[in-house]
């Protein structure tokens, strides 16, 4: 049985958004809703929402990086060919039907009559161009998105007359609809992408003030039902504890906030009938990646770090229960055999010291810190401030100090941390990520596959690679489960990554002003048409 293990991680980033305007049906560039949108934002009429959220990226272009694509979907600006429901089941969206005989060639029918928010039609040709652009940007290294991590294609063909896009995958890909629901694959209007990011979502951007606010207006062409608000404004914050958001909601400056992560604030909201707190658990992992192109290639050092950290205390005390402790990269709430796993690295400080001593990692010069092969150890621990991850990083550093391992924590904005991670400029780096990004964990488990792991610390294990390669092509559900269990246990036994715990996402709203504000398990979706005025 695997004692539930947790630790720390983090996630800071600065968020910006690319300006976009809705145009008339003829695509002339006129904006029929902008005047009304601006008037409503100033309080002169129309149904308006004030929303406060953490600032994650400086772009909404899917090619820029992971967070930029998420922002576009979270803000209700972009949509994918498929989407996930509240049960993390994939459903059709811009694609309304599909067929495959061999899980390699897929024929997707593009929903008819859908327009981008500028009035331009969504056609199979544009869908193809949107996908082509995403992969070309990866090949050209003009962005940090890596869609090939999930799927690559031998060919992408569009037939506007038939209304279809035919995708021929490089390999058998049983979960292609789930993959295409990932925000990287959001469909953008390639005809205007050089100047604007335009999607098909219920809202579009009318104005932005960097690192402060973004104004949105109703997409007059939205295809999937009534859009509840004429306008909304997003107030952006870099406060990873959510204190600023909580204060804004309590003062009435905003109607809705995402992820208040201060326990006392959440408890106050839960006790006050004036507020509705929506909580969902189980799909986000907080962990720290190790860089294997450095001192953490040493297995004894990694094992000692695992022994040295008291995960239960970190999760229950340090971050006041906002994470659930665990030992695996896949949360205990998901159906992937967590109860069958064994954790050999339960919290034991004396055992950590014993492992280091036996490996010759000792304090040879008497300065209080251990050396590896005669060289002083000073772990470069990068953190970005989000979802209590800086709290975890500082706590881990203190834990390592207790066993004679020096560790320097540096908090950076998300984009800087991501660049350093991609370039391997770290020993440890925190992370908070959805582990079923495509509806199953295959994509996330690919972070540890040697063919992908260069962006995650260069982990490599031949047994892991063999099992992962088999998982990519297997269609039998029972065998999938066996392989997913095996992959989890290999990572645990290898001390491959420092698992902190599983994050509980929240959304809080004022009940007299907002209804339908439930946080989705797949937190790609924040502002949806379910969120509406209370009266």
CB distance 93 to 82 below 8 Å: yes
Q: Give me the percent of the chain exceeding a pLDDT of 70.
A: 91
**456 pLDDT exceeds 70?**
yes
207 with 293, same domain: the answer is no
| Residue 1: pLDDT over 50 | no
* pLDDT the model gives residue 282: 67
How far is Cα 449 from Cα 47, in angstroms, rounded to an integer?
Answer: 48
β pairing state of 497-510 and 323-324 = antiparallel
What does pTM read for this prediction?
0.75
Of 49, 28, 54, 210, which is closest to residue 120 (Cα–Cα)?
Answer: 28
Q: How confident is the model at residue 261 (pLDDT cuts 50, 70, 90)?
A: confident
pLDDT attached to residue 531:
98
Provide the domain limits for residue 490.
Answer: 282-504
Q: DSSP code of 339?
A: G
- The answer to whether residue 150 is domain-embedded is yes
- Per the structure block, which two tokens stand in for 423? 């370039």
Report helix, strand or coil for 464: helix
Q: Are residues 297 and 192 both part of a single domain?
A: no
CB-based contacts of 96, cutoff 8 Å, min separation 6: 109, 110, 111, 112
Pairwise CA distance, residues 284 & 499, whole Å: 11
376 and 467 together in one domain: yes
**Quick one: pLDDT at residue 240?**
63
Residue carrying the six token digits 């104005």:
207
Judge if 225 and 287 occupy the same domain.
no
Q: Please, which pLDDT band fits residue 22 given cuts at 50, 70 and 90?
A: very low
Q: Is the pLDDT of residue 497 over 60?
A: yes
Cβ atoms 248, 260 nearer than 8 A: no
Domain co-membership, 375 together with 496: yes
Strand partners, 499: 287
Task: Looking at the structure, tell me whether residues 331 and 402 fall in a common domain.
Answer: yes
Which residues touch 398 (CB under 8 Å, ≥6 apart)? Answer: none
Do 296 and 223 lie in a common domain? no
For the chain, the straight-line distance linking the first and the last C-alpha, in angstroms and rounded, comes to 50
The pLDDT value given to residue 529: 98
Judge if 215 and 100 occupy the same domain. yes
Nearest to 258 by CA among 386, 89, 392: 386
Task: List beta partners, residue 383.
Answer: 411
Distance CA 20, CA 140 (A): 25
Reported as type and span, the H/E element at residue 444 is helix 442-445
| CB of 325 closer than 8 Å to CB of 504 | no
pLDDT tier at 285, thresholds 50, 70, 90: very high
More confident residue, 78 or 437: 78
φ, ψ (nearest 5 deg) of residue 188? -115, 155
380 and 454 assigned to the same domain: yes
Kindly state whether residue 45 falls inside one of the protein's structural domains. Answer: yes
Look at residue 294 in the predicted model and tell me its pLDDT. 95
Span 392-396, mean pLDDT? 96
Looking at the DSSP bridge assignments, the partners of residue 290 are 428
Whichever domain contains 472, its CATH number is 3.10.105.10
- Is the four-CA dihedral 46, 49, 50, 55 of positive or negative sign? negative
How far apart, in whole angstroms, are the C-alpha atoms of residue 60 and residue 66?
10
Using alpha carbons, list the distances in angstroms from residue 400 to 172, 433, 461.
44, 24, 26
Grade residue 29 by pLDDT with cuts at 50, 70 and 90.
Answer: very low
> Please, are residues 427 and 290 in contact by the beta-carbon 8 Å criterion?
yes
Report residue 261 as tokens: 């992560």
Residues 223 and 315 in one domain: no
Residues 6+ apart with CB under 8 A from 270: 277
Q: Which residue has tokens 């809202």?
A: 203
Give the domain CATH number at 43. Answer: 3.40.190.10
Q: What is the DSSP string of 267-286?
A: HHHHH-TTEEEEEEEEEEEE
In the prediction, which pLDDT does 43 show?
43
**Residue 25 domain-assigned?**
no
Per-residue pLDDT tens digits for 336-386: 999 999 999 999 999 999 999 999 999 999 999 999 999 999 999 999 877
Does residue 225 sit in helix, strand or coil? coil
- Work out the pLDDT band at 70, boundaries 50, 70, 90: very high
The neighbour count for residue 423, using CB atoms within 10 Å, is 10
208 and 321 both lie in a single domain: no
Our CA angle for 146, 76, 242, nearest 5°, is: 85
What's the pLDDT at 264?
85
Tell me if 401 sits within 8 A of 368, measured CB to CB: no
DSSP sequence for 378-403: EEEEEE--STTHHHHHHHHHHHHHTT
Going by C-alpha positions, the residue among 114, 113, 94, 120 that lies closest to residue 23 is 120
pLDDT digits 0-9 by tens, 103-133: 999 999 999 999 999 999 999 999 999 999 9
Confidence of residue 32 (pLDDT cuts 50, 70, 90): very low
Q: Is 265 helix (H, G, I), strand (E, B) or coil?
A: helix
Residue 120 lies in a domain: yes
* pLDDT, mean over the chain: 89
184, burial (CB in 10 Å: exposed 0-12, middle 13-18, buried 19+) = buried
Beta pairing partners, 430 = 288
Other CB atoms within a 10 A radius of the CB of residue 3 amount to: 15
- On whether residue 244 sits in a domain, the answer given is no
Q: Is 366 left (phi over 0), alpha (psi -120 to 50) or beta?
A: left
- Judgement on whether residues 323 and 436 belong to the same structural domain of the protein: yes
CB count within 10 Å of CB 299 equals: 12
Q: Is 495 exposed, middle or buried (0-12, 13-18, 19+ CB in 10 A)?
A: buried
- Does residue 28 belong to any structural domain of this protein? no
Residue 297 belongs to a domain: yes
Of the ranges 3-17, 28-42, 139-153, 444-458, which one carries the lowest mean pLDDT score? 3-17
> Is residue 255, in this structure, part of any structural domain at all?
no
Q: What is the mean pLDDT of residues 270-275?
A: 96
**Of the candidate ranges 132-136, 165-169, 316-320, 426-430, the one whose mean pLDDT is the lowest:** 316-320
Token readout for 178 is 């789930």
491: Cβ–Cβ under 8 A, 6 or more apart, which residues?
A: 328, 329, 448, 464, 497
DSSP 8-state symbol, 115? B
Domains of the chain: total: 2
Q: What is the rounded average pLDDT of the residues 399-422?
A: 92
Q: What is the pLDDT of residues 57-66, one digit of tens each?
A: 878 999 998 8
């Amino acid at each position: 049985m695997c004692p539930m293990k947790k630790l720390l991680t983090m996630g800071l980033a600065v968020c910006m958004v690319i300006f976009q305007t809705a145009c008339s049906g003829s695509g002339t560039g006129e904006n029929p809703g902008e005047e009304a949108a601006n008037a409503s934002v100033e309080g002169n009429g129309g149904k308006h929402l004030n929303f406060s959220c953490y600032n994650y990226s400086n772009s909404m272009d899917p090619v820029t990086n992971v967070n930029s694509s998420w922002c576009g979907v979270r803000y209700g600006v972009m949509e994918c060919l498929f989407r996930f429901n509240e049960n993390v089941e994939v459903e059709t969206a811009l694609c309304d039907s599909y067929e495959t005989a061999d899980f390699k060639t897929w024929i997707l029918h593009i929903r008819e009559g859908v327009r981008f928010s500028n009035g331009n039609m969504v056609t199979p040709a544009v869908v193809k161009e949107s996908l082509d652009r995403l992969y070309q940007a990866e090949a050209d290294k003009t962005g940090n998105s890596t869609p090939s991590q999930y799927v690559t294609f031998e060919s992408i063909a569009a037939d506007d007359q038939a209304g279809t896009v035919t995708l021929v995958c490089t390999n058998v890909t049983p979960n292609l609809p789930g993959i295409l629901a990932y925000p990287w694959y959001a469909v953008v209007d390639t005809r205007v992408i050089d100047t604007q990011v335009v999607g098909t979502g219920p809202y579009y951007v009318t104005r932005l003030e960097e690192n402060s606010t973004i104004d949105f207006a109703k997409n007059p062409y939205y295809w999937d039902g009534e859009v509840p608000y004429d306008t909304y404004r997003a107030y952006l914050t870099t406060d990873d504890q959510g204190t600023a958001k909580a204060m804004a909601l309590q003062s009435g400056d905003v109607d809705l906030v995402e992820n208040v992560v201060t326990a006392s604030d959440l408890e106050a909201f839960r006790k006050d009938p004036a507020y509705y707190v929506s909580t969902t658990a189980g799909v986000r992992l907080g962990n720290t990646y190790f860089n294997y192109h450095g001192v953490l290639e040493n297995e004894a050092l990694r094992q000692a770090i695992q022994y040295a950290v008291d995960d239960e205390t970190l999760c229950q005390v340090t971050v006041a229960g906002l994470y659930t402790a665990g030992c695996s990269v896949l949360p205990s709430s998901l159906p992937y055999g967590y109860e069958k796993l064994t954790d050999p690295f339960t919290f034991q400080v004396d055992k950590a010291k014993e492992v280091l001593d036996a490996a010759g990692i000792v304090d040879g010069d008497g300065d209080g810190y251990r050396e590896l092969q005669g060289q002083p150890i000073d772990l470069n621990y990068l953190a970005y401030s989000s979802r209590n991850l800086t709290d975890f990083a500082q706590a881990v550093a203190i834990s390592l100090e207790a066993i004679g391992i020096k560790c320097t924590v540096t908090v950076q904005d998300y984009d800087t941390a991501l660049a350093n991670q991609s370039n391997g400029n770290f020993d440890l780096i925190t992370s908070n990520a959805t582990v079923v990004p495509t509806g199953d964990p295959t994509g996330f488990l690919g972070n540890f596959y040697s063919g992908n792991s260069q962006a995650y610390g260069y982990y490599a294990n031949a047994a892991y690679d063999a099992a992962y390669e088999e998982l990519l092509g297997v269609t039998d559900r029972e065998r999938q489960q066996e392989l997913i269990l095996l992959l989890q246990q290999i990572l645990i036994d290898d001390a491959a990554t420092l698992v902190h715990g599983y994050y509980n996402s929240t959304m809080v709203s004022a009940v007299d002003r907002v209804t339908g504000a439930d946080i989705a398990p797949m937190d790609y979706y924040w502002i949806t048409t379910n969120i509406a005025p209370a009266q």
